[in-house]
Amino acid sequence: MTNSKTGLPMGGMTRRTAVKTLALGGASTAALGLSAPALIAANNDKILIGVPSSLSTPYGVADDTDHLNGTKLALEEINAAGGVNGRELDIFVPDVDKLSPESCRQAIAACIDKQVHAISNSFLFAPIPAMDESAKYKCPYLNGNTQRNATEQFRSNPEKYSHILQTDPSEVNYGWTYPLWLKAMEEKQGWTPKNRKVHIVSEQVGYNQTILSAARESLAKSDFELTENTDIQYPVNDWSPVIRRLKEVDAGAIFINHWVAAEYASFCKQFQADPVPGALVYLQYGPSQPEFLELGGRATEGFCWSTVLGVYGDQTGQDFRAKYLAKFPEYEGNMGLVYTGNGYDIVQYLAAAWVATGDHTDFKANVDWIRTNPYRGVCGMMDMNNEFQEALHYPDNGFGNQSAALDGGMSQLYVQVQDREHKIIWPNEIAESSLRPAPWW
């Protein structure tokens, strides 16, 4: 017997059991208490998720394609099992230019016009206009913005932005955790720094400048020294002047603080031809995008990068990778490991909330449920019940909004390209490999 409002077995699903069952990537949606497939046919009202995506810009397409693919995979699984509370899930995908404040606002406005029941978005470089627009509607708005500037807005006005939840830790953690990684590579994984100098090369967008500020703060407390920051401006058509300066400074650790995968691929080719001998080279985030390996080829070997949001290499993560590649075999050998999982996890998290509350139209109830019920997805734990309403970060770098335990937060993943594949090398608890000597060492 089922409850006529929720479509769930009477007495068979509580809020606690709903999230417990849906956790770990919704591995068995047929047993979630979701409605039988026959009920979908009897109810044509779909639950609609807005997924603003870069479809036509020269940047952001790779991440948003990953996010959209992960979203579609989750929808397919849930709908095949009968949908949520007797309703099929569907998506609305407006185009967005991530760098344009007006385009970001318009994309959210389009979602509101469509009367979506939730918004799932990878990230925007102009998040505040989008947040302000969404505040007129207040459906659950889950994103992977990775920006403390955005979550600071929540902290300053939690009533206005109560419905906006950042499912990953903020970008400040890239700068704050960097010295911990250097130390771990030195003490645990065989890297012998030729000196204690760090040379950072930074792009000018707010995302990269925030990371630079955080790195300055953390390096000042470490036994490494920030020797120089070299500014760059997108687009970078020729890395030769940068590489010339890298060789002049000759730092033991190099941090390229950029974000465009295609330009990183170009950097790798030019650096491999004229490297800084012995330097441990870290590239900020961009190598996570599939085009990095496609364009860079063998020249990407040995470079390291990280993400505060990524598919783990544990059994849950491996199972997700297998089913993702089964649906999207064209990414075999070069699967995106960031927003693929995030798009998937957000839909599963929303489904958990809708099952638990029994009403996808009660925006406040669903936001409150998500805030107070942490969720373990393929990218780790999302616990957003804190002053920033963003996921807790692991490992604890000592700068706040951290988790002391792996299972309490979302782990930053440090990765090295090895044999043209991305391999997690740190933290050690979830590593797939260890640091290998780079070709220029």
Confidence at residue 13, expressed as pLDDT on a 0 to 100 scale: 31
Burial class, 171, CB count within 10 angstroms (exposed 0-12 / middle 13-18 / buried 19+): buried
Are residues 99 and 164 located together in one domain of the fold?
yes
Give one DSSP letter per residue of 264-316, joined into a string.
HHHHHHHHHHS--TT-EEEEESGGGSHHHHHHHGGGGTT-EEEESS---SSHH
DSSP per residue, 188-242: HS----SSSEEEEEE-SSHHHHHHHHHHHHHHTTSSSEEEEEEE--SS----HHH
Of 31-35, 181-185, 191-195, the least confident: 31-35
Same-domain pairing of 230 and 348: no
**Judgement on whether residues 194 and 278 belong to the same structural domain of the protein:** yes
pLDDT at 405 over 80: yes
* 273 shares its domain with 263: yes
CATH of the domain at 72: 3.40.50.2300
Report pTM.
0.89
Average pLDDT of span 252-265: 97
| pLDDT per residue as tens digits for the range 119-144 | 999 999 999 999 999 999 999 999 99
For residues 19 and 89, state if they share a domain: yes
Same domain, 126 and 31: yes
Are 166 and 280 members of one domain?
A: no
Q: What is the rounded CA–CA span in Å between residue 425 and residue 441?
A: 18
295-312 pLDDT tens trace: 999 999 999 999 999 999
Q: Are residues 273 and 379 in the same domain?
A: no
Q: Are 337 and 422 in contact (CB under 8 A)?
A: yes
Q: Which domain holds residue 198?
A: 172-307+411-430
What's the pLDDT at 44? 56
Confidence of residue 58 (pLDDT cuts 50, 70, 90): confident
pLDDT by residue (tens digit) across 199-241? 999 999 999 999 999 999 999 999 999 999 999 999 999 999 9
